Amino acid sequence: MKRLAIYPGTFDPFTNGHLDVLERALTIFEHVIVVIAENSRKKTLFSLDERLDMIETLTATYSGASVEVLHGGLLAEYARSAGATAIVRGVRQVKDFEYEFQMSLLNRHLNPEVTTVFLMPNVKYTYVASSIIREVALLGGDVSKFVHPYVLDRLKKKFEEQKNL
């Protein structure tokens, strides 16, 4: 049986830190589904379709990876229906722990067959979070070290679009 993991997140946008975690996950699991979660509580910069397009483009050459969208519903249920035995989450700092701990135990309660696996990205991405990337990019700062050129281009276009509104 194939070891299948899901790698969920908002990915607004997908950063090099996310890519690093995905690459690490692919050394452990035969297949990893990146799951873009729709979050009604979070207003995102990029639409689901835009995020899907960016992640599909970035992972097109990764034979073990695919990308899906979770349109509402529980991740634990999604994991069950996909046949995944693991949920991959990237952790950068101690402050990530409380939230991750809570989610992993809740997900285990909802689906005892799924185990959350925490992976640490390369230390150079310790302070890279999508929120900070959005803010720096909006203010004209250079984020080229932290996102793929395709994402960088989408960020630039998005802020141009917004300026013209």
Judged by CB under 6 A, does residue 120 bind ligand PNS? no
CA distances in angstroms from 145 to 42, 114, 141, 148, listed in the order given:
26, 34, 11, 8
**Options 75, 79, 147, 151; binder of ligand PNS; rule CB under 6 A:** 75
**Options 6, 7, 9, 26; binder of ligand PNS; rule CB under 6 A:** 9
Distance CA 59, CA 157 (A): 21
Which of 31, 130, 148, 154 is flagged as catalytic? Answer: 130
CA distances in angstroms from 33 to 63, 67, 76, listed in the order given:
11, 5, 14
Which of 66, 80, 92, 104 is flagged as catalytic? Answer: 92
- Count how many residues are written for the chain: 165
Which residues lie near ligand PNS (CB under 6 A)?
A: 8-10, 37, 39, 74-75, 103, 106-107
Q: Cite the active site residues.
A: 18, 42, 92, 130
